[in-house]
Amino acid sequence: MLILICSSVSYSSTGGYTGIPSLGGIYYYQYGGAYSGFDGAEGEKAQQLDTQFYQLKLPTARAAMAVGGALMAFSCLLVLVGVLRLPWHFPAWLLLECTLDILIALGFLPALYFYFHHLLDAYDSPVCKEREHLYQSKGYQGFSCSVHGAEIAAGLFSCIAIVVFLVSAGLAVRGYKTVHQLREKPVQMYEF
């Protein structure tokens, strides 16, 4: 879920500069407007650059959200399977779970590479550089061409997920052995 949330931050802003005066509102009318630094052609240029930069990051954000959502659904499925005690009735399920956990953990490695590779491509683009320069010329901070905190957090949570899926694979193997040991014992041994 944390991967989904952090990757959706890049997706949430549709791009496009909007100055406070263009919003209407009490601030503009009560206090005579606010000077945003952009007017006319510069405002339109800022809006265009924001929209183009958003379009550059959009495929990466969508892919990260899809992966995060799929992993969240898989985790919910594993919880449901555990609640229904499927591993007790079909111990082979635990071996399947172990295999899937290992495949997911190994699949995360190239996914992380491509995630950051495409993000860095977007941040190294001429659109981002021009956008950064335009905002810096008006004194705005926070529009630099570098990976922001939510994207770094998505990467860190992905690294944690790799470890968690590997531990889960180990626990599935341990559970498989435990179920087989308990099934070999007479019924009286494990009933309360």
pLDDT the model gives residue 186: 61
Phi, psi of 38 (to 5 degrees): -115, 135
- What is the distance between the alpha carbons of residues 66 and 3, in angstroms, rounded to a whole number? 10
Among 60, 59, 100, which Cα is nearest to 78's?
100
* 35 to 1, 12, 15, 23, 140: CA distances (angstroms): 39, 26, 20, 13, 12
pLDDT the model gives residue 33: 41
- Residue 191, pLDDT > 50, answer yes
The residue ranking higher by pLDDT, 66 or 38, is: 66
Q: What is the pLDDT of residues 119-173, one digit of tens each?
A: 999 999 999 999 999 888 888 787 889 998 889 999 999 999 999 999 999 999 9
- What is the distance between the alpha carbons of residues 66 and 72, in angstroms, rounded to a whole number? 10
Instruction: Give the type of residue at 112.
Output: L
- What is the distance between the alpha carbons of residues 98 and 104, in angstroms, rounded to a whole number? 10
- Calculate mean pLDDT across residues 20-25: 50
Phi, psi of 51 (to 5 degrees): -65, -40
Position 29 confidence tier, pLDDT thresholds 50, 70, 90: very low
What's the pTM value of the predicted model, to 2 decimals? 0.78
- Calculate mean pLDDT across residues 45-73: 90
Secondary structure E strands in 66-140:
none
Instruction: Give the type of residue at 83.
Output: V
* Torsion sign (Cα): 107, 112, 115, 117: negative
Among 13, 115, 117, which Cα is nearest to 66's?
115
